[in-house]
Amino acid sequence: MLKQLVDRLPFGSREFRGSNDYWVRRYRKGRNSGGGSYGRLAEFKARVLNEFVDTHGVLQVIEFGCGDGNQLQLANYPQYLGFDISPHALDLCRTQFSGDDTREFGLTQNYRGETAPLTLSLDVLYHLVEDEVFDAYMRRLFSASTQHVIIYSSNLAENPADQGKHVRHRRFTDWVEEHLTGWELTRHLPNIYPFEGNTREGSVADFYFYESKSS
């Protein structure tokens, strides 16, 4: 009975219990992936990613943090495998892409070492507030790729005091340089819609392109 009462509370009424819990509850409450996966920000991301996939002849893509699938609606990927921690988000994805055998989805906890020439992380890193969660995610993201990794995220050293508890910015490029020496940052593409106070119109995230040195 107590759990049922808690589940009926408005989103955000419970104390913050970690990044995974936040996103599982968010999708269970019927909310979406956020402004970055809709409108002109989604279109900007799609243009960049579709051009990269086409230019580099990428045939398979794995994304860690596929969310509600709205961003994927704009994607031109020959084969795609998306992982997320939320069963409710995956249900949304499977409904949207039912009958499309080029799109597959799975829980992050069920990842079994699948690989692809390109792995993606879009608007995820600054929502991984715990060091151990961030570390595990980054190692999985890069180990799943045989050639390219594209990250769309903030890359900031400081965190404003008034930001939500589900947000933590990091200089993730420094982390990669220290822990994943087999990868090289080949390009940084600034956002054409920088954040100016409205999360649906602008973002603190830029594109970062990594390539395996062994490839």
Q: Determine contact, residues 46/74, Cβ cutoff 8 Å.
A: yes
Residues 47, 207: Cα–Cα separation, whole Å: 12
Comparison of pLDDT for 10 and 96, the residue scoring more: 96
Per-residue pLDDT band at 195 (split at 50, 70, 90): confident
Per-residue pLDDT band at 29 (split at 50, 70, 90): confident
Whether the pLDDT of residue 6 is over 60: the answer is: no
Residues 122, 181: Cα–Cα separation, whole Å: 22
Comparison of pLDDT for 122 and 166, the residue scoring more: 122
Comparison of pLDDT for 198 and 48, the residue scoring more: 48
* Domain 33-212 architecture: 3-Layer(aba) Sandwich (3.40)
Whether the pLDDT of residue 56 is over 70: the answer is: yes
86 CB-contact burial (10 Å; exposed 0-12 / middle 13-18 / buried 19+): buried
Q: Which residues contact 69 (CB under 8 A, 6 or more apart)?
A: 82, 89, 92, 93, 96, 97
pLDDT in tens, 62-107: 999 998 888 999 999 999 999 999 999 999 999 999 999 999 999 9
212 CB-contact burial (10 Å; exposed 0-12 / middle 13-18 / buried 19+): middle
Whether the pLDDT of residue 121 is over 60: the answer is: yes
pLDDT in tens, 174-194: 999 999 999 999 999 999 999
pLDDT of residue 1: 38
Residues 143, 138: Cα–Cα separation, whole Å: 8
Residues 167, 125: Cα–Cα separation, whole Å: 9
What secondary structure letter does DSSP report for 110? G
Whether the pLDDT of residue 199 is over 90: the answer is: no
Q: What mean pLDDT, rounded, does the chain reach? A: 88
Residues 102, 77: Cα–Cα separation, whole Å: 8
**Whole-model pTM?**
0.87
Query: How large a percentage of the chain has pLDDT more than 90?
Result: 68
